[in-house]
Structure formats: structure tokens, C-alpha cells
């Protein structure tokens, strides 16, 4: 997919300005929206590599934990603080 995108985007990235009709045609050929094509063009102009055109999810990978297993286990066995239990909280008077 990235190689196919590069073949369509490389000639466009070499041009200083783009005709909207050419962008629309290229977007249809690559089966992406015009806005995504402009986004890919911007990325490719910054770093002209095939891997630049692979879309990635932002953020931490699915299933990755910020805490190590030992910290997760320790937090699950620690009892909650009782200072906020309903019997210790008084109703707020207005």
C-alpha cells in the first residue's frame, strides 16, 4: 500500500504548487480523500521515504501497560482509602 501511494505521491511532491483537479484525480486513483492526500503529501515532503506513507495509530500500542506487572499487582491488592467512604462524608449544607 505504501509503495502504491509513493508512486502516486512522489510526482506531486516534486511540484511546487498543485492544481486541485490533479489532486482530485490522484486521490481517486489512490482511493483516499483529498484531505488525506494533502496530509500524506505534507508528510512525504518532510521525509521522502516509503515508510512515511504508512498510517499509524497515535499513542501507546494496544495492550501496552504504562506500569510494570509488579506495580499493577500491588495496586490491585491495596485496599482503598476509607476517608471517602459514605459514612465519613458529611452532606454539604447550602
Query: Using 50, 70 and 90 to split pLDDT, how confident is the model at 81?
Result: low
Query: Using 50, 70 and 90 to split pLDDT, how confident is the model at 8?
Result: confident
pLDDT of residue 77: 61
Any domain includes 62: no
For residues 8-13, average pLDDT: 84
Any domain includes 92: no
Any domain includes 63: no
Long-range contacts of 47-53 (CB under 8 A, 24+ apart): 48/10, 48/13, 50/2, 50/3, 50/6, 51/2, 53/1, 53/2, 53/5, 53/6, 53/9
pLDDT of residue 44: 80
Between 86 and 1, residue with greater pLDDT: 1
- Look at the chain and report how many structural domains it folds into: 1
For 47-60, the pLDDT digits (tens) are 887 777 777 667 77
Any domain includes 9: yes
Residue 80 has pLDDT above 70, yes or no: no
Question: Residue 29: which domain range?
Answer: 2-53
Amino acid at each position: 500500500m505504501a509503495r502504491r501511494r509513493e508512486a502516486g505521491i512522489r510526482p506531486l511532491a516534486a511540484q511546487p504548487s498543485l492544481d486541485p483537479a490533479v489532486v482530485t484525480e490522484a486521490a481517486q486513483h489512490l482511493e483516499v480523500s483529498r484531505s488525506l492526500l494533502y496530509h500524506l503529501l505534507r508528510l512525504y515532503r518532510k521525509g521522502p521515504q516509503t515508510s512515511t506513507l504508512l498510517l499509524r495509530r497515535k499513542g501507546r500500542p494496544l495492550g501496552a501497560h504504562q506500569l510494570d506487572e509488579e506495580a499493577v499487582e500491588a495496586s490491585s491488592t491495596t485496599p482503598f482509602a476509607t476517608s471517602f467512604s459514605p459514612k465519613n462524608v458529611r452532606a454539604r449544607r447550602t
